[in-house]
Amino acid sequence: MSEPTARREQDDAYTTAFEAHVRESGRWRDQPAVRLDETWFYPESGGQLGDRGRLGEVAVTDVQIDDAGAVWHVVDRLPEAGRTPASIDWARRFDHMQQHTGQHVLSAAFERVRSAPTLSSTLGADRSVIEVGLADVDWRTVEQVEAAANQVLWEDRALVHHWTDAAGVARFPLRKPPQVTGRIRIIEIPEWDWSACGGTHTRRTGEVGAIKILGWERVRGNLRFTFVCGRRALEDHAWRTESLADAARRHTLRDRDLLAHLERAIEERDALRKRVGALERAALAESLRHELGDPPRALQRIAEAGTSEDARLAALLALEAGAPWAASAVLAPAPALVVAAAQALGRDLRTLLPRLLESAGGKGGGSPTLLTVTAVDAAAARAAHALAVAWLSEDVPR
């Protein structure tokens, strides 16, 4: 059984170069991996991704920890045994430190502003999320939470690390109880937050730079917030500002007027679509009246191109015009068939559905008077259409 690895990053997250001693070679999930006698590499855990870096000329592509506390450095190839220089990707490490410290500050802000606990957190490669015990929120509340969190950053408070045990935990006003036993590390942001945490953090809150919430969604009766900190917040602000400014400039608008302009444009577009749809429907209805004749015949239509909605509209308009039934197919881009029957015909289309599905090789369903079926290709759509016409014409036994 593996022995625990001496993890130096828990007391020093700023060392990024050291002399490593390769203690053991092995595999981690079918990838080559090594254990060191001690390491400053952070292993993935607690919602924070692991470090990357190098062991000499060998790339460290992931860092994981097993149940015994042994840290495995996943590598692209096994290094030579013995001592080798090690280096940690500092840009990635510092980014993770910003996100993790920012998450502590943000979670405490939700507790203080809205009495809302953080239920879980995940620090992603691009964006991070926290699930908060809130039923609803608006942007004004988000502004209050962000203002409280960023004020703590601007005050540049120094983080304090405490090592304790299960008995000593009671001395700290933790947001939630620790999930580990034995030696427990408490991260204190003075007069703001105390959390049991094994991740990497900045020395001071000012190094986080900024915290920005990007949005939220409802999950399990709670809210999941997406946020970015530090460099990520700057990069996110940069592309959003560029997009907004360029879009406003193209329309000769001020930035703040762009949203109202877009909303008006969308309303106008929807009104035009509705008007065009009504005109197309009227034109199709008129065309069908000529096609069906007087008295109206059944509709047997195959269109080379269109959508299942086009086929459905043609079938329903044919029935409105007095057709006893309709079989309307489209061959591209997604072959489909719609079959409709007037109530007076007295035919339950559901009895035809199994044979249609077999012929079309697709999926579908419907009611006694309307079926929609997809087909695997144009030939299958034609075959299913022929079957429907024959069945409705009573040339196929029911």
Do 293 and 364 reside in the same domain of the chain?
yes
Do 108 and 180 reside in the same domain of the chain?
yes
Confidence at residue 397, expressed as pLDDT on a 0 to 100 scale: 43
Do 57 and 106 reside in the same domain of the chain?
no
In a domain, 217, yes or no: yes
> If the chain, 398 residues long, is cut into consecutive pieces of 10 residues, what is the mean pLDDT of each piece?
85 96 92 95 93 96 94 93 94 97 98 96 94 96 98 98 92 88 92 95 98 96 97 94 86 82 87 90 89 92 94 94 95 96 91 94 94 96 95 67
In a domain, 398, yes or no: no
Q: What distances in angstroms separate CA 359 from CA 7, 151, 236, 375, 382, one per listed residue?
A: 64, 67, 52, 8, 9
CB 116 within 8 A of CB 132: yes
Q: What is the DSSP letter of 2?
A: P
Quick one: 271 exposed, middle or buried, by C-beta within 10 A (0-12, 13-18, 19+)? exposed
Do 190 and 150 reside in the same domain of the chain?
yes
Range of the domain at 67: 6-88
Chain centroid to CA 378: 35
Cα(200)–Cα(14) distance, integer angstroms: 9
Residue ending a domain, among 88, 114, 133, is 88
Cα(236)–Cα(96) distance, integer angstroms: 16
Cα(391)–Cα(393) distance, integer angstroms: 5
In a domain, 46, yes or no: yes
Residue ending a domain, among 62, 88, 114, is 88
Do 184 and 50 reside in the same domain of the chain?
no
Domain count, the chain: 3
Cα(71)–Cα(382) distance, integer angstroms: 62
Cα(103)–Cα(208) distance, integer angstroms: 10
Q: Which residues contact 290 (CB under 8 A, 6 or more apart)?
A: none
- Alpha helix positions (H), 115-205: 139-154
Radius of gyration of the chain (CA): 32
CB 87 within 8 A of CB 53: yes
Dihedral angle, C-alpha 49, 54, 58, 61, nearest 10 °: 10
In a domain, 1, yes or no: no
Do 57 and 19 reside in the same domain of the chain?
yes
What phi and psi values does residue 7 have, to the nearest 5 degrees?
-100, 105
Do 240 and 300 reside in the same domain of the chain?
no
In a domain, 361, yes or no: yes
Do 68 and 149 reside in the same domain of the chain?
no
Cα(156)–Cα(173) distance, integer angstroms: 21
Please list the residues that pair with 63 across neighbouring strands. Answer: 73
Q: What is the DSSP letter of 194?
A: E
In a domain, 106, yes or no: yes
Residue ending a domain, among 58, 88, 118, is 88
Q: Which residues contact 343 (CB under 8 A, 6 or more apart)?
A: 369
Number of residues assigned to the chain: 398
In a domain, 315, yes or no: yes
- For residue 21, the domain's CATH number is 2.40.30.130
Percentages helix, strand, coil for the chain (3-state, rounded to 5) are 40, 30, 30
Do 190 and 223 reside in the same domain of the chain?
yes
- For residue 222, the domain's CATH number is 3.30.980.10
Do 166 and 103 reside in the same domain of the chain?
yes
In a domain, 55, yes or no: yes
Strand, helix or coil at 179? coil
Chain centroid to CA 324: 48
Do 135 and 171 reside in the same domain of the chain?
yes
Do 177 and 229 reside in the same domain of the chain?
yes
